[in-house]
Structure 1
Amino acid sequence: MTGSILIGVLIFCLASTVHYFALTRLYGVITARLKPGYWAMLAGICGAGAAHLIEAMLYALGFAVMDSTGLGGFKGGDSDSFMDIFYFSLVNYTSLGLGDIYPTGHSRFLAGLESLNGFLLISCSASLVFFLMHKSFKRD
């Protein structure tokens, strides 16, 4: 149980750090190189989306480590496939929770943290996109 909590907290902090640096760097590049408008907004969406994929991959690696060490596992689908674990991670990160693959054992704790972290980080990305769109609509 302690190992699961440590893995979860580590990945939660790592994903949050990746997101912070990705969004701050992305914002700096967009505002320095693009005028407010469609292209700035599209760059924000694509950049934030790429950050989210990396963050979901971090959680998938955490699930794979927990699966290989016996701390948790999965039922449904082909849990021996890393692509299925990554699929679960993406679905869980976005809080969809389709249920065709589900975690067992202590992996359930990591799944809960991932869902919470995904919700928070997606909200930050939405804020950035809203800000970029607002700048393009703003009339001086």
Structure 2
Amino acid sequence: MLSLFIGFTLVAALGLGHHYGLLAVRETTKGSDNHPRRVVVLTFLGLLAIHTVEILAFAGAYKALLAWGGLGSFGGGFDESWSGLVYFSGINFATLGYTQIETSGPIRMINMMQSLGGFMVLTWSATFLYSVSARAWQK
């Protein structure tokens, strides 16, 4: 149950951070109403930056949790490098964890919660980009 709580807490932080990231993207694109293509491109690039930071944050959380021990391990094709953690986090975030890296132990619950959180914020971002694009293309 500890791992489920950790996963829930990480996803809650993800949601809060994503909310404020979207607000920052919206603020950044203010005043570009006369340049609809610019708004769409800046929004896309802002979302790309937000998701990259989110993936890196989860990679950092996995690094800390693996160092802490007691929550399981990564196996299979995991090479125990920072790039391996970023790869695992990104694949898990964007494709529900279908990778050659295997998790064992309670850390699997955190892995599952990251997949849920990634799905939630990716669809949130898609909706945000769609609404920005719809407004921009109407002008």
Instruction: Give the TM-score of the pair, scaled to structure 2.
Output: 0.89
Aligned to 1:128: 128
Aligned to 1:75: 75
CA deviation map 1:45-79 (0-9, x unaligned): 11011111111122112211221122121112244
Runs of 4+ in structure 1 deviating by more than 4 angstroms, as ranges, are: none
Distance 1:113 1:36 in 2: 39
Gaps of 5+ in 1: none
Percent of paired sites with the same residue: 24
Task: Please give the secondary structure, in 2, of the residue aligned with 1:32.
Answer: coil
The aligned runs of 1:43-58 (5 Å cut-off) are 43-58=42-57
**CA displacement at 1:43 relative to structure 2:** 0.7
Q: Check whether the contact 1:66–1:73 (CA below 8 A) recurs between aligned residues.
A: no
Aligned to 1:13: 12
**CA displacement at 1:31 relative to structure 2:** 2.5
Gaps of 5+ in 2: none
Q: Structure 1 residue 29 and structure 2 residue 25: aligned?
A: no
Distance 2:109 2:103 in 1: 9
In structure 2, relative to structure 1, the CA distance for the partners of 1:36 and 1:129 (3 Å cut) is: farther
Distance 2:30 2:13 in 1: 26
Distance 2:113 2:96 in 1: 14
Distance 1:46 1:64 in 2: 27
Task: Please give the secondary structure, in 2, of the residue aligned with 1:98.
Answer: coil
Greater CA drift, 113-122 or 64-73: 64-73
Aligned to 2:108: 108
RMSD of aligned residue pairs (Cα, Å): 1.7
In structure 2, relative to structure 1, the CA distance for the partners of 1:109 and 1:135 (3 Å cut) is: same
Aligned to 1:38: 37
Query: How many pairs align?
Result: 138
Distance 2:79 2:63 in 1: 9
Q: Structure 1 residue 97 and structure 2 residue 97: aligned?
A: yes
